[in-house]
Amino acid sequence: MPTTQIKDPVHGYIELDQSLVDRIVDTRPFQRMRYVRQLSATHLVYPGANHTRFEHSLGVYHLGRTVFENLRTQTYFTRNTDEGVLDEIQRTLECACLLHDVGHPPFSHLAERFLDTDELYARLDDHGLVEAFEEAGLDDSPLGDASPHELLGCLTVLREYREALSRLGVDPYEVCGYVLGYSLVYERGGPWQFGLGAQLLHSPIDVDRLDYITRDNRMTGADVLSFDTDRMVDAYTAHPEEGLALSEKALSTIGNYLEGRIALYMWVTQHHKSVYANVLLRAMLDELDDLTDERPVTVDQVLDGEIDDNTLMERLRHAARDHPDSTLAALYDRFRARRFPKTCWKHRIAYADRVDVDLDAFGEWLTTNADRLERALADELDLPTHEVWIERSYVPEYEPGELRDIPIAYGGTTRSVGDWGLYGERAFDTPIPFVFVPQGEKKPATEFLVAKFHEEHQGGD
């Protein structure tokens, strides 16, 4: 079968069957991902962070295919299983890896909250996905638990790729199942290896995570991650009862993987300037929503209008120009000129030094009451409310604590890295909140917030 090679800065040459290129990669919905950055506005902090969902999807495909082909060399994995079945699973996995992010709206996670999940559910029901899950013995909880971009991705698969997938010998409903973390074939009683295909794309050790961790580290230039990706890939193994796991071969690199993942989260995603850049963009979208009759992002705008980062940024530019006295105009000017305010603290050391109270309680109080405290602090400092921000990471669902559950296989069973005692008693750091105020206002802002915390908690400690 003819193949195409694409040179990737992270994995080297990625080889795709020409049929995948013709029917999936070289199509308009897939090519749209070239214009949706992986890390939204983080390029304002790390200038090299211009990588997109397009190359990430190719990387996930490459890792998924490589891992599955390695599994096929393991006798235990292929025992009593027809080669045709394994071919079907592999092709399904390859297509799902390519298409898993095709539903991302502009600015990735920042804009997906504007997508109407009820509308997405109804459309998926019309396309038969709800019925397909029910026939597999599942209720609709996989759809209810899915993120908006995953639902839109499934809708894109069923609307735009149904025929193409069928011609590739792949069930489009099974691809949607993989995107959501399920194999409908397995749930209907099919071979256990189908379930492994879904786990490879959606689990604590999925190849989606493995690619974006490696890619974000490389493309930002943060260089906080140092682990042997090839050894990790070679360590994947599987068991009918235990599921997907890493063999003890991974023990030499899993510590670096986890520590590096935490470092990447804390110094890229949770970098104080990254947090501000992205929440500033989020605030601009909220202001655009208030100023115009149409939502900043809708299902049809993505499906039919093919909107991307450039489309939405241009819309923001026009709205700021047409409403020069608006908050949006002020925020847009700040974004374009990169005039970011100061943070009261930049990292956990400064946070602990400047906030002489229970840090966990203080942080919870700040984030739980952010809107109210922003108004109170703005009044105290005699500032417009849009000059005061209380924020934490813009993608809190990626907190690293979930990685404790990575399974290590040994002796026919699996145990998580935490159970193996690989980390002793060390806890995974949680994100700290940041307080952004104009130049010269850090000290009075900190003093006011600490005093207010004591005032509201006196007698309650």
Given this model, what pLDDT does residue 265 score? 84
Percent of the chain exceeding pLDDT 70 equals 94
Mean predicted lDDT score pLDDT of the chain: 92
Least confident of 75-79, 392-396, 414-418: 392-396
> In this predicted model, what pLDDT tens digit does every residue of 132-150 receive, in sequence order?
999 999 998 999 999 999 9
Phi then psi for residue 15, to 5 deg, are: -105, 130
pLDDT at residue 131, rounded to an integer: 97
pLDDT in tens, 330-383: 999 999 999 999 899 998 889 999 988 899 899 999 999 999 999 999 999 999
Contact of 162 with 174, CB cutoff 8 Å: no
pTM to 2 decimal places: 0.94
Residue 364's CB: how many other CB atoms inside 10 A? 12
Cβ partners under 8 Å of residue 319, min gap 6: 288, 291, 292, 326, 328, 332
pLDDT band at 428 (very low <50, low <70, confident <90, very high): low
Residues 224 and 400: their CA atoms lie apart, in Å, by: 15
Q: How far apart are CA 114 and CA 135, in angstroms?
A: 31
Share of the chain above pLDDT 90, in %: 77
| CA separation for the pair 269, 258 (Å, rounded) | 15
157-196 pLDDT per residue, tens: 999 999 999 999 999 999 999 999 999 999 999 999 999 9
Residue 395 binned pLDDT confidence (cut-offs 50, 70, 90): low
Residue 461 is predicted with a pLDDT of 47
Report helix, strand or coil for 244. strand
> Range with the lowest mean pLDDT among 87-96, 228-237, 296-305?
228-237
Residue 122 pLDDT: 98
pLDDT for 266 beyond 90: no
Per-residue confidence at 108, pLDDT binned at 50, 70, 90?
confident
CATH of 3-211+235-245, one of 3.30.565.10, 1.20.950.20, 2.60.120.260, 1.10.3210.10: 1.10.3210.10
Q: Which residue carries 């970011």 as its tokens?
A: 340
Domain ranges of the chain: 3-211+235-245
Grouping H, G, I as helix, E, B as strand and the rest as coil, residue 349 is helix
